A = this chain, B = another copy of it.
Amino acid sequence: MKKLSLDTKHKTYPIYIGENLLSDDKYILPHLKNNQVLVVSNETVAPLYLDSLKKSLKSIKPATIILKDGEEYKNITTVNVIYDKLIDVKFDRDCTLIALGGGVIGDITGFVASTYMRGVSFIQIPTTLLSQVDSSVGGKTGVNHPKGKNMIGSFWQPECVLSDTNTLKTLNKKQISAGLAEIIKVAIIKDKQFFEKLYNNMDSILSLKQDLIQDVIYQSCKIKADIVAIDETEQGIRALLNLGHTFGHAIETILGYGNILHGEAVGAGIKLAAVYSNKYGKLKDNKKDMIVKILQMAQIPMGMDKNIKVDDYMDVMAVDKKTKNGKINLILINDIADVYIAQDVDKQNLHSFLSQ
């Protein structure tokens, strides 16, 4: 088991990474304030892991909400269902919400926790590779609006994060690849050695070799945690973590939530950012090729965005959270471990780039 500590201005909390953590009572119980626990999960994850989780809660019988599986349920309607449940079971300010599932479950549950009675505790148990390295680190919560991803949300840190690498074994290959997109992303942003490690060991990572995957998750979380510790609410450096996300969110919004995995969209977005950085910026051909290659090795599907109309792209990017005063900002790449915020990118360049 590896343990990482995340320090933010508001809270310091542990991220545990390892096998069989879910069924071990020593991780969750110490973080509860009373016996009021609501587990939020979905129809895919609950049958696999809810019973183990319940066992680790010992005498506490949690309330449960089992949502349908999919990004399309990450909305205000679902948030209301959870509020209603919390009020029905008369949970008070000392209650704890546990998110058992992927990023969608974590984001919704965190948002409800941040707004029920002006804020209650929550614990993240991410069960996908993507959520173990991404949404469970950093305290971003949120739900989608029909016109934009994560438009409604908050910053709210959990009491602890439990990344049980056993849960990765039930994921399909698409989901592993989606997670790898985010891992590759943080390597490109911050760590050449880590990038090389990923580049040279992709097959073993894809086959979930335990020591290696735990190490990869740990390093990935560490890079993200270091950035978040400096800039919790994304006033500056944290924005670098949005590499691939402006393009990626646009692809997700246009193709429709649920038709593409978030990680797949981010992977496609990183490729676009690399090609754009090569064409209009300083990224050298060989580095651009390495980035495209590692995304391919990670089996991230590309080209799902080729039928998107340029005007649709431009429209959606104009309401992205990273857009300011109508100016589109992109995270671009000079080199591995050298990325930057390009403010107010030339819309004509962008338009002609997306046309190709």
Residues of A within 8 A of B (CB): 34, 36, 76, 80, 83-84, 87-88, 90, 92-94, 111, 114-119, 140-142, 145, 147-148, 150-155, 233-234, 318-319, 321, 323-326
Determine chain A's interface SS by DSSP, over half rule: mixed
Residue in contact with A87 in the complex, picked from B114, B116, B147, CB distance below 8 Å: B147
With A116-B151, A116-B152, A118-B140 given, can you name 9 additional A-B contacts, CB distance below 8 Å? Answer: A76-B80, A83-B152, A87-B147, A87-B151, A92-B325, A94-B325, A115-B154, A118-B154, A118-B234
- One of B114, B152, B318 near A90 (C-beta < 8 A): B318
**CB contact between A115 and one of B115, B147, B318 (< 8 Å): that residue:** B115
Q: Bound state CA distance, A128 and B141, in angstroms?
A: 34
Partner of A324, one of B88, B93, B147: B93
Q: Are A119 and B154 in contact (CB under 8 A)?
A: yes
B155 and A119: CB pair below 8 A?
yes
CB distance from A157 to the nearest CB of B (A): 13
CA A73 to CA B142, docked complex, whole Å: 24
Expressed in whole angstroms, the minimum distance between the Cβ of A61 and any Cβ of chain B is 15
Q: Are A154 and B90 in contact (CB under 8 A)?
A: no
**Residues of chain B lying within 8 A (CB to CB) of residue A118:** 140-142, 150, 153-155, 233-234, 321
Nearest residue (CB) in B for A143 is B115
Assess whether B145 is in contact with A34, with CB atoms less than 8 Å apart.
Answer: no
* Cα separation A127 to B101 with both chains bound (whole Å): 45
